[in-house]
Structure 1
Amino acid sequence: MSSAADAPTGEFSTRAAKALTESMTVIDDSLDHDLRDEEFLVVTPTGTYRVDAIADTCDCPDALHRAPDEGCKHRLRVALARGERPIPGWVDRSAIDDQLGQHLAASPRIATADGRTEVFDQ
């Protein structure tokens, strides 16, 4: 299985779009001390899922039953929120969920026209 960070920046799947726009809160070990380093809780309106960034796993039904190559939307959300996977510069910024990266020490990153990335400020 390939990591969400390995997905080409030019490609943006439906799962990645959902990861960027749907309401989700990512919590790390600084807020939930039961989590290990590189382990996250992703809280959504329909459930709470555990993402392990080292093992590249999530306990959601999509990851467990379909195992998408780029990862489920929760794993993608963690990668986007941490800046591990940059947000394409062409996305509609107003569609991005306000919670993206809100509870993490790392910051989301967005691609710039010159091929670099910068911190995404909402």
Structure 2
Amino acid sequence: MRRMTTLPAEGFAGRTRRARAEAMAIRPLRDGRYVVETTGGTYVVDVETGTCTCPDSAIRRARCKHLRRVAIEINERLIPAPGERTSACAVCGRRTFVPMFDSAPTLCERHAHAPGDLVRDRETKSLLVVVRATGKRADESATGGGRLVADYESNENYGRHEPVFEAVYVDSLPLSGGVEDLAGRTRYRFPASRLRPVESDFADAESVRHATASDRPETRQASLV
């Protein structure tokens, strides 16, 4: 059980103020509900139905302080939302929230990459566009030659447990927004932390979709040569 904490309450009134000012500890349940422990008792909150087992909600049908507190902590990303669970970033260990039954290695917002993002290879300093997340770890994901991403010498400084991303090299930045067609370019696989973010949503969705649907499914590992 988490220790009971308070939240800043200045500028709030009524039940919302009490929801923030009173000490509470919240524990998510696997069924999407939450146990709320207070000095006055322990209650079960269901944010999807907007109900709580406390008298204020069960009898008076009010949106009680316990329900409000759970909603506040979800919105402020202090606890997972219904259908999520707490996990740790595979790069830095920072707490993050993922879908309840997602078994893929996870990343926090700081280390995650999305299709279309412009990134820089920390080893070669080259620019690439991310085309997809493989959903596998570096010690599980193999290139077209059958060699695991984690086994390449150029990746020895990156975690074998890190999620792998596929990306394509871009020769240079375009003069205006967008990027030329990516479909004809070979895809390469990298551990997540080898790619340093440069610009989000650099390539449009159509360019990325064409890259992953191209006739060149072979993937390789970048060389330092």
TM-score scaled to structure 1, two decimals?
A: 0.52
Q: Percent identity?
A: 36
Is 1:77 the counterpart of 2:60 in the alignment?
no
Runs (4+) off by over 6 Å? none
Aligned partner of 1:15 in structure 2 is 15
RMSD across aligned positions (CA): 2.5
Q: Hey, what's the Cα distance between the residues in 2 that align with 1:72 and 1:26?
A: 15
1:105, CA displacement in angstroms?
Answer: 3.7
Aligned partner of 1:36 in structure 2 is 31
Aligned partner of 2:46 in structure 1 is 52
Secondary structure at 2:59 match in 1: helix
Bigger radius of gyration: 2
- Which has more strand, going by share of residues? 2
| Matched residues, number | 72
Which consecutive unaligned segments of at least 5 residues does structure 1 have? 1-10, 30-34, 87-100, 107-122
Give the AA of the match of 1:49: Y
Q: Hey, what's the Cα distance between the residues in 1 that align with 2:28 and 2:61?
A: 23
Q: Which has the bigger relative contact order, CA under 8 A and spacing at least 6?
A: 1
Secondary structure at 2:45 match in 1: strand
Give the AA of the match of 2:31: R
Which consecutive unaligned segments of at least 5 residues does structure 2 have? 1-10, 82-225
Secondary structure at 1:41 match in 2: strand
- Which has more helix, going by share of residues? 1
